Structure formats: structure tokens, C-alpha cells
Amino acid sequence: MAATMPFSKETLQELVCAYCGVAASAISLTPIPTGKFNTSYFVRADGDELVMRIAPPRDAVFVFYERDMMRQEPGLHALLLEKTSVPVAPIIAYDDSHTLLDRDFLLMKRLPGRPLTDAPYVDEAKVLRRVGRCLAEVHALAAEGRYGYLGEHAPMAPQPTWVDAFQMMWRKLVEDVAAVGYYDETESTALLGLLERHIDLFDRPVPSSLLHMDVWAQNILVDDASNLTGLVDWDRALWGDPEIEFAVLDYCGISKPAFWEGYGERRDTSPKARIRNVFYLLYEIQKYIVIRHGRNNDPAAAQQYKRQVMQIVAQLMHRT
């Protein structure tokens, strides 16, 4: 069954016309069914291949760093195109004026290739080595003395150290889960106290590295020769400890030997690092409680993620 368009064809064509200067009759649009957050389309505009991404409405249920997070993408793409060899798309237009549409939206060049999830016969090791090299370049980009979500969406105040940033991020995320009814006061207090008891493990000098924070097979584009053609969806980007990125890579099945070959550095596997990794994994998993409840309208799935969180917490308390 063909995917339907939540916006009218005429509205979408008007958005493209405003920035591409082509007639509506020369514009075709195809919904991208894999979008998990934004509403996205492949656009053909008089021969140009583009992607349009439309943000959710501002009254949707968000994790704290998701609101308006599209706003940081133009600057990040420009930085990556200038400073790295990472394959990212030039952004043609970003509009948060809400004059043409009551949502933020952007237009960017369409990258070649298809998601790794749709390419089962490629050489995965070759792809992951290249992803590793790309993330090493990304992590080499560092902010000076500022940590956290530093983008234009401004979901938190920049912090002078990583420990300060992560403590704030953890608190905000716990509050988000409580706000949708999945943590009571006792559970919230326990989770905040758990980090407080281990906070010294995070109080160490680390660079404020640029982190993608959403590298999984759907966001890795490849061609039939197993070349990496795109690393997409930078809207969740964060500046801080690369170890938190590693936890996301673990969770998403990317942290394999080929990836580490490409990355070119050994991972810290000390007891302290392993405990930090548990907290970083918990940071990743807790967001899905909010997402499944608020955007997917699936309280059973949200409860399952909560049970997973509580099981990990119990294991951590037993270990320490």
C-alpha cells in the first residue's frame, strides 16, 4: 500500500517552490516511511534530488533535547562539510518562520545510497570501518570549555565541565519520564541519587567532542559497492564525552570489531569506564519511555522500557 501524505501535495509543493524557484508542475514528492521523528519526503524538483524534513508540532510530547532540535542541523552540516570528510548533505534551506507552514522544515540535497537496513548483501565490515573513521573525525571536533546540548535549540544552559553537563542532562531526562507518569517521586529520587553516588566517576577531564548520538543502521547510507554514502540525522547531536556515544553504538549494534578498526583508538574498559557505560546506556534507554508513551501512544512498550531500566539499575546497585 502506498504511503499517504499527512500534508497536502499543494502545501508541500509551495514549500519547495519558495526555495527552489521551480514550477509546482515540475515537483514530485514521495513520503519516506522510515522517519521516526520528523515527517520526511524525497523530492524531485525539475531534475534535482532533494529531501524535505518537517519537524513535529511544538505541542508534541518531547524528551527535553528534542524540542526544536532541527534548528541545530544547518550549522552542524556546515561544520562537518568544512572540517571533515563525513558524507553529509548540504542544506539548501531551513525555515522556522512558520509563515508557510506551522512547523520548522528544511530542504537538503539527497545523498546517494540506501540505509544499511535495506542493504543486506553489502560488506558490513567495510561499511563499519568507514563509519569508525568518520566518527573519529567527528569526535576530534571540540567545543572550548562548553559541554552539553549546545545547538540553536538551546534545551539546556552550556556547562563548563562534562560532569556538570551530564548531571543536568540526567536530571532533565528523569523529570521528563516522571512528567509522563512513569516514575513516581520515590523512583525519581532514587535515580537522581544513584548518579549522585557515582558522580566522581564522571568528574574527569574529557574533551567536549561533537557526538552524533543516533548512529544506527537506518542512519547509515551505503551503495552497492559497500561504500558509505551518508551519515544522516544529526539533530540529536551533543558535545561531550565520547564514551556516551560508544554506549549508543553498543545499544544499536554498531560497536563491532570493524568499527573499532576504523575508529583507530582502543576503548577504555576499566571498571570505572564500565560503570559510566551503564549510566550512559540508561540515558539512552530512558528516552524511549517518553517516546513510546508520548509519540507512539504505546504505554505497554513504555512500561517495558521502564522495566528494562529498573533491571539495569538493580544490577548496577548489586555490582557497586
Q: What is the pLDDT of residue 229?
A: 98
Residues 149 and 248 in one domain: yes
Residue type present at position 68? D
Residues 185 and 197 in one domain: yes
pLDDT surpassing 80 at residue 320 = no
Query: DSSP label at 276?
Result: H
C-alpha angle 61-64-65 in degrees, rounded to nearest 5: 115
Describe the strand order of the beta sheet including 142-143 as a list of residue ranges: 142-143, 208-211, 238-240
Q: What is the pLDDT of residue 318?
A: 78
Residues 251 and 281 in one domain: yes
Residues 232 and 273 in one domain: yes
Which residue has better confidence, 210 or 26? 210
> Residue 62 belongs to what domain range?
9-111
Cβ–Cβ under 8 Å, residues 151 and 68: no
What percentage of the chain has pLDDT greater than the value 70? 98
Residues 99 and 123 in one domain: no
pTM: predicted TM-score of the whole model, two decimal places: 0.94
66 contact partners, CB below 8 Å, separation of at least 6? 37, 155, 236
Q: What is the pLDDT of residue 60?
A: 87
Residues 161 and 309 in one domain: yes
From 53, 88, 111, give the residue that closes a domain: 111
Residue 4 in any domain: the answer is: no
Q: What is the pLDDT of residue 311?
A: 96
Give tens-digit pLDDT for 133-151. 999 999 999 998 999 999 9
CATH code assigned at 269: 3.90.1200.10
Residues 200 and 246 in one domain: yes
Tally of domains in the chain: 2
Q: What is the pLDDT of residue 319?
A: 76
Residues 216 and 162 in one domain: yes
Residue 141 in any domain: the answer is: yes
From 51, 81, 111, give the residue that closes a domain: 111
Question: Which among 164, 118, 135 has a CA at the least distance from the CA of 248?
Answer: 135
Residue 1 in any domain: the answer is: no
Mean pLDDT value across residues 85-101: 95
Residues 122 and 103 in one domain: no
Residues 96 and 24 in one domain: yes
Give tens-digit pLDDT for 228-283. 999 999 999 999 999 999 999 999 999 999 999 999 999 999 999 999 999 999 99
Give tens-digit pLDDT for 270-309. 999 999 999 999 999 999 999 999 887 899 999 999 999 9
